[in-house]
Amino acid sequence: MAKRIKSAMPGFIKPQLATLKMKAPTGGDWIHEIKYDGYRAQVHVDRDAAKIFTRNGHDWTKRFSGIAASFKLRSQSIFDGEIVVIHYDRTNFSELQADLAKGRQDRMLFYAFDLLFHNGEDFRNKPQIYRKERLKELIDMLDPPVLYSEHHEGDGQALFEAAGRLNYEGIISKRVDATYRSDRVDTWQKIKTVRREKFPVVGFIKDPAGVAALYLGKKEGKNLIYLGKVGTGWDRTTSGKIRKALETVVSPKAKLTKPIKKPKATWVEPAFYAEVEYRDITSEGLLRASSFKGLSKGTGRS
């Protein structure tokens, strides 16, 4: 038998990216993982010393020094995964950003979901399921904050629907026989959950043809609190119709319980509700990744 030639440990590897799909694949050719809402990270371990790189190859080892120190492996290994903060039982990107800004690391976790290199062997040309099996063997030797990303077999759509009920960001489906490529590929597929809700419009920003953005609120008991703005999801015709409707309820001042300063705002009575798709609400209480879906008058669901 020919002796396997060992490879030198590579530097930063451009990550493989998933393609967005509307529905999860099914069948025995796929495994499915929960999609984490955090920072993509690549961990390079070289005989007990670890470096952590961002998705774009920046060395952020100092920012994630606690995680780096937890990779106590006497090996040369490269792990692909996600750094997260758990908040209310799910990963929360806004909380992670807040912790990074404060220099806080005690809540940070690293979920490893792929193994790219180990002790002279380049795993990128190995099947996905083989990489995950070897990955688990290594991660089982470590303690939190380093964790193994579990996967599920079978019906990906069922896992996706469960993820939606739990307010997770979505799932990643991976073809079991696929190799790892530094590109956006169809062998990794991301299916994202979105939240959809109606919120009272409390103001808007004008543009020449209609509106540039809507300011939104949310009712909490007798209070009307500011929830941020939405600035996408309409065409020019719809924008004009929104402007025409809102100009019938213009108010001299904001109706928010706690006023905010928005010099460009035209304030309105909260008589109209915007239906909005959004990904999350940040730690500051503002909508994240919002998109307008419709406008209605009267009582809305908030």
Domain ranges of the chain: 17-192, 195-297
Containing H/E element for 121?
strand 121-122
**Does 258 qualify as catalytic in the annotation?**
no
The Cα angle at residue 246 between residues 245 and 250, in degrees rounded to 5: 135
CA atoms within 13 A on the CB side of 202: 23
Q: What is the pLDDT of residues 105-142, one digit of tens each?
A: 999 999 999 999 999 999 999 999 999 999 999 999 99
Q: What percent of the chain has pLDDT over 90?
A: 79
- Domains 17-192 and 195-297 in one fold: no
Q: What is the pLDDT of residue 4?
A: 64
Mean pLDDT is lowest, of 11-20, 70-79, 103-112, 279-288, for 279-288
Question: Does residue 299 surpass a pLDDT of 60?
Answer: no
Tell me what the pLDDT averaged over the chain comes to: 93
- Whole-angstrom Cα distance, residue 217 to residue 241? 20
Q: Which residues pair with 203 in a beta bridge?
A: 215, 267
Q: How confident is the model at residue 97 (pLDDT cuts 50, 70, 90)?
A: confident
**Which of the four pLDDT bands, split at 50, 70 and 90, describes residue 301?**
very low
Q: Which residue has the tokens 């020449």?
A: 208
The per-residue DSSP string of 230-293 comes to E--S--HHHHHHHHHHHGGGB-SS---SS----TTEEEB-TTEEEEEEESEE-TTS-EES-EEE
Distance of alpha carbon 139 from its chain centroid, rounded?
23
Q: How many CB atoms lie within 10 A of CB 36?
A: 23
Position 300 scores a pLDDT of: 46
Task: Return all residues near 276 (Cβ < 8 A) that are at least 6 apart.
Answer: 196, 197, 198, 199, 216, 230, 233, 287, 290, 291, 292, 293
Is residue 299 helix, strand or coil? coil
Mean of pLDDT values over 254-283: 92
List, as one string, the DSSP characters of 105-120. Answer: -TTEEEEEEEEEEETT
- Residues β-bridged to residue 226: 217
- Of 35, 174, 192, 198, the catalytic one is 35
Q: What is the sign, positive or negative, of the torsion defined by CA atoms of 101, 197, 168, 224?
A: positive
Q: Dig out the tokens for 246 from the structure.
A: 């809102």
**For residue 188, pLDDT beyond 50:** yes
Calpha distance 224→216 (Å, rounded): 10
What is the CATH T-level fold of the domain 195-297, as seen in this structure?
OB fold (Dihydrolipoamide Acetyltransferase, E2P) (2.40.50)
List the structure tokens of 250.
């213009």
Reduced to 3 states, what is the DSSP secondary structure of residue 172?
Answer: strand
pLDDT confidence bin for 275, thresholds 50/70/90: very high
Tokens (6 digits) for 40: 């993509």
Q: Is the dihedral of CA 7, 13, 14, 19 positive or negative?
A: positive
Q: What is the pTM of this model?
A: 0.74
Fold of 17-192: D-amino Acid Aminotransferase; Chain A, domain 1 (3.30.470)
CA dihedral 102, 107, 108, 110 (to 10 degrees): 180
Q: Residue 166 has what pLDDT?
A: 86
53, two tokens? 């790189």
**Which residue reads 């060992």 in tokens?**
6
pLDDT class of 3 with cuts at 50, 70, 90: low
Residue labelled with tokens 């996408």: 232
Task: Read off the pLDDT of residues 196-229 as tens digits, 9 standing for 90 and up.
Answer: 889 999 999 999 989 999 999 999 999 999 999 9
- Asked if residues 270 and 242 have their Cβ atoms less than 8 Å apart, the reply is no
Decide if pLDDT at 302 tops 60. no
With 0-12 / 13-18 / 19 or more C-beta atoms within 10 angstroms meaning exposed / middle / buried, residue 19 is exposed
